Amino acid sequence: MPVELKDRSSSSSPSSPGPRVLYWFRTDLRLDDSPALTTALSLNPSALIPLWTWDPHYIYASTSGQGLGQRLGQRQRGCVNRWAFLVACMNDVSASLTKLNPKQKLHVVRAAPAAIMDALLRKWKIDVLVFEKDTDAYARTRDAHVTRIAEGLGVKVVAVAGRTLFDSDDVVRHNGGKPTLTMAQLVKAAGKIGDGKPMRPLDAPTILPDPLDWAEMNLDGLVLHEVNDAPSVSCDLKAAVDENENETEHETEHETEHENENESEKKTQTKTNVQAHPDMSTARSGMDSNAAQHLDIPPKSSPLKASPRSLSFPGMGLSDRQFSAGLMGPEGTFSIPTLEEMGVVGPQLHRDADTDTDATSTISSGTGSGNGGNTTSTTQSLYRQGGETAGLALLAAHVTDETYIATFEKPATAPTAFDRPATTLLSPHMHFGSVSVRRFWWAVQDVLERRRLAKQPVSPHPVNLPGQLLFRDMYFAAYAAVGASFGQAVGNPVARFVPWALLSKYPGIPATGSLRDDGEPEPESRYMVDDPQAEEYFQRWKYGCTGFPWIDALMRQLRQEGWIHHLGRHAVACFLTRGGCYVSWERGAEVFEEWLLDHEVACNAGNWMWLSCSAFFSQFHRVYSPVSFPKKWDRRGEFVRRYVPELAGFDDQFIYEPHKAPIADQKRWGCLVKSDGYGLEHYAASTSTTGYGTGNGAGARAMMDSNSSGGAGSDKSHPTPPGQRLYPKPMFDFSQRRQFCLDKMKQAYEVGLYGDDERVLSGEWRSLFGLEEQQGKEADGKSVSSDADLGFRGVKRQRSGVKSALLDGKQRRLETVGADMVHEQHGSSQTDQSPGDQDQDRH
């Protein structure tokens, strides 16, 4: 339990009024088992303000940030499912607070914490600021910054661990300061913490102090200049922190590294910032630098003049108004933004699940062995619902099925189950903190203990449910130790360096030839399209039109629902990287980051490294086949039929390889397998086959203009023959590509570089891989350069990689087109969230 504080707080005499406490919700949208909230209440506050800062960083970039996106000042918007889940969590917490005290609620302030915290602490005369500790790289920087502000005002700051089973910093310390790279290391280190077991969960509070009186809460009188005097606005956060931190004594090697990166980013940051967010190309034109400022600090004086960024979504005609109404929202009541205000209205998945319960279960591939009908149906309706109430109910529903909980073995759960997923679907709750990971752990552990005593069968570590949660802790601790570079290939000390296609490009050093036609510098926010073919593979992978039905079905499920099964994530991750496309895992990680409901930077990056054999796992000979692997689970291809409906009529025999079906049969089954089907543009633009979209369609147009990817345009205005649909042929010969990748991986292992190697940063890696010759080919005046340009230079110190890259004209065009869209939607990535995916095996 949270402790240190108690001393301080109790220092005030009982008779004196308790402190004014600001409780800042972030990764902990729950009341149950919240060590930080418990700590806050233990201070016996005279006033408690539950706060959420509606942070543009969070909205326009995922919290993850560590990835490229953040480093580059990129902003991305999560899919509608993710925002719906988040808003549900916020509403639920708010309702729970109100239930305990009618005067209470979750107070949402629409501004970046770094920009607004100073003013809030002053205005509300806060004595203590309490929040759950967050070891994500961006969060650490942000929190250090806010802490400095608070302490400068004499406000006590208390950060309490609670997001993981074990405090990640403690784990790292007990692992000799090194990242936990194996399960054994994690278990060993965790075993030295306390009694070696996660803390028992704490009860939710039963009473809650009042907030301040409205007169004092009201921010209307907030003087703007106070805000503007804050050291920085959100987007300059890192730079500002950098400056400050350089003065401060600092600790770990890693942190020092970040600083250096920050320094180099400083220049571009402000600028990127501005246009950063909107992924929507349609909105981009409407953005100006003033608008960006409004993002952080809506001008009190002219709230409406602050031309709200109009992020329209195709077909929806809505605009993003979440920041245009001022700090306290449109009603001036600290309201929780609605999806409408966010401009992301659209049907959400869980509604679909709710209403379809009966129908879907009849065709479910799961047979629902262990569950009684009632339990199953209850559980099912809870899947994908945000909020603590729903999360705890889902956990409770699972726990009633003891056999399922106790005999759960992740690798044995079916990735092809869709209407009734084979895993628990608790991962989004782990991500938003709407269910405590320790609550989950102990609920399962108690069942296991009971069964062990009764000598009933239980599944072994680490494939069991607790093992899944330990993997989550392993990734968190690894990330905590490594810092920001954990989310990228270059500069990452634990990632083996593989010369993938589409490696990331880093800010800080202007690339040669980085001027656009209009003379403006190319925003340093793109990955390097060093291979147009790979770019096309990547786009086809992303939008589910590779011509491999198993892969396409999974990617479409991801885009539509924000979730795919762990093994499905394996399949697509392997396919994109070492098992087909040979594209950098960073690209895939970004897509996951954007589309997954449950994305967690640590788990996502960790799992992508795992699957790409960059770290954690190294047996690159084990390649998932897009044909034989799914057959093992779903011989009839029900999963494919659901998500790739154009193939629904195909015979089982051809469901995973429709191009092998005789033409006559293809016609008879209502779908022709032809070149690239409708063309990439069609797939990228379509909101989805089943009607609920992710709001991402906007990028499609921009992305695919004609030449963007070879061949994509060919079928462009393809008229759909009446009653006849199209599906692409495989975009490559799988076994050939498999061999190609194997050879590449073998070479990379032989060369044996890691991301932070000087030879990676300097560009010497090219010669080590025998890539010298290609250097001279890039020719386009602007772009070329010395081999250094294909290195990752500009590093002030080791590990802060910067690379500049050069592209010839054609490639650059591609980059521009493709990258816009890619980054528009990229999100996060995590391959699978280990925690989240606890599955249940319903077979």
Partner DNA sequence: TGCGCAGTTGACCTA
Partner DNA sequence: ATAGGTCAACTGCGC
Distance of alpha carbon 323 from alpha carbon 330, whole angstroms = 9
Q: Which conformational region is residue 87 in: left (phi greater than 0), alpha (psi within -120 to 50 degrees), or beta? A: alpha
Does 842 engage in binding with DNA (CB under 7 A)? no
Does 623 engage in binding with DNA (CB under 7 A)? yes
Residues touching DNA: how many (CB under 7 A)?
Answer: 37
Which DSSP state fits 647? G
Which range binds DNA by CB under 7 A, 332-340, 441-449, 620-628, 814-822? 620-628
Distance of alpha carbon 453 from alpha carbon 449, whole angstroms = 6
**Is 576 assigned a ligand-binding role in the annotation?**
no
From candidates 618, 707, 739, 774, binder to DNA by CB under 7 A: 618
**Is 423 assigned a ligand-binding role in the annotation?**
yes
Distance of alpha carbon 564 from alpha carbon 596, whole angstroms = 8
Which range binds DNA by CB under 7 A, 109-117, 377-385, 646-654, 744-752? 744-752
From candidates 4, 17, 102, 182, binder to DNA by CB under 7 A: 182
**Is 43 assigned a ligand-binding role in the annotation?**
no
Site string for DNA, 452-491 (x = CB under 7 A): ----------xx---xx--x--------------------
Which amino acid is residue 594, in one-letter code?
E
Q: How far is the CB of 696 from DNA (least distance, A)?
A: 28
Which range binds DNA by CB under 7 A, 27-35, 71-79, 707-715, 746-754? 746-754
Q: How far is the CB of 324 from DNA (least distance, A)?
A: 42
Distance of alpha carbon 489 from alpha carbon 603, whole angstroms = 15
Does 838 engage in binding with DNA (CB under 7 A)? no
**Torsion angle of alpha carbons 391, 396, 398, 400, nearest 10°?**
-170
Contact 839, 404 (CB under 8 A): no
Q: How far is the CB of 728 from DNA (least distance, A)?
A: 21
Q: Which 355-414 positions form the footprint of DNA (CB under 7 A)? A: 409-412
Q: How far is the CB of 753 from DNA (least distance, A)?
A: 11
Q: Which 751-810 positions form the footprint of DNA (CB under 7 A)? A: 752
Does 660 engage in binding with DNA (CB under 7 A)? no
The H or E element containing residue 240 is helix 237-247
Q: Which is nearer to DNA, 5 or 183 (CB)?
A: 183
Q: How far is the CB of 171 from DNA (least distance, A)?
A: 13
Q: How far is the CB of 734 from DNA (least distance, A)?
A: 9
* Paired sense of beta strands 47-53 and 156-160, if any: unpaired
* Paired sense of beta strands 156-160 and 128-132, if any: parallel
Cis peptide before 198 (omega within 30 of 0): no
Q: How far is the CB of 837 from DNA (least distance, A)?
A: 8
Q: Which is nearer to DNA, 105 or 570 (CB)?
A: 570
Q: Which 410-449 positions form the footprint of DNA (CB under 7 A)? A: 410-412
Looking at 427-584, list the stretches that DSSP marks H as alpha helix, in order from N- to C-terminal side. Answer: 427-432, 437-453, 465-482, 532-542, 549-561, 566-576
- SS3 of 500-519: the string is CECCECCCCCCCCCCECCCC
Q: How far is the CB of 566 from DNA (least distance, A)?
A: 6
Q: Which is nearer to DNA, 409 or 780 (CB)?
A: 409
Tokens describing residue 386:
């945000």
Q: Which is nearer to DNA, 265 or 473 (CB)?
A: 473
Q: Which is nearer to DNA, 131 or 541 (CB)?
A: 541
3-state helix, strand, coil in the chain (%, to 5): 45, 5, 50
From candidates 608, 834, 841, 842, binder to DNA by CB under 7 A: 834
From candidates 625, 688, 694, 800, binder to DNA by CB under 7 A: 625
Contact 439, 32 (CB under 8 A): yes
Q: Which is nearer to DNA, 27 or 468 (CB)?
A: 468
Question: What residues contact 732, with CB distance under 8 A and at least 6 apart?
Answer: 537, 580
Phi, psi of 68 (to 5 degrees): -55, -45
Tokens describing residue 709:
């990817």
Does 736 engage in binding with DNA (CB under 7 A)? no
Which amino acid is residue 779, in one-letter code?
A
Q: How far is the CB of 577 from DNA (least distance, A)?
A: 14
Site string for DNA, 568-587 (x = CB under 7 A): --x-----------------
Tokens describing residue 737:
């590509």
Distance of alpha carbon 286 from alpha carbon 269, whole angstroms = 20
Q: How far is the CB of 610 from DNA (least distance, A)?
A: 6
CA-closest candidate to residue 500, choices 626, 568, 624, 588? 588
From candidates 432, 442, 500, 629, binder to DNA by CB under 7 A: 629
Which range binds DNA by CB under 7 A, 142-150, 285-293, 612-620, 797-805? 612-620
* Paired sense of beta strands 128-132 and 20-24, if any: parallel
Contact 269, 70 (CB under 8 A): no
Q: How far is the CB of 108 from DNA (least distance, A)?
A: 35
Distance of alpha carbon 500 from alpha carbon 612, whole angstroms = 10
Instruction: Provide the annotated binding site.
Output: 423-427
Instruction: Provide the annotated binding site for FAD.
Output: 423-427
Q: Which residues bind DNA (CB under 7 A)?
A: 181-185, 188, 409-412, 462-463, 467-468, 471, 566-567, 570, 607, 610, 616-619, 621-625, 628-629, 632, 746, 749, 752, 832, 834
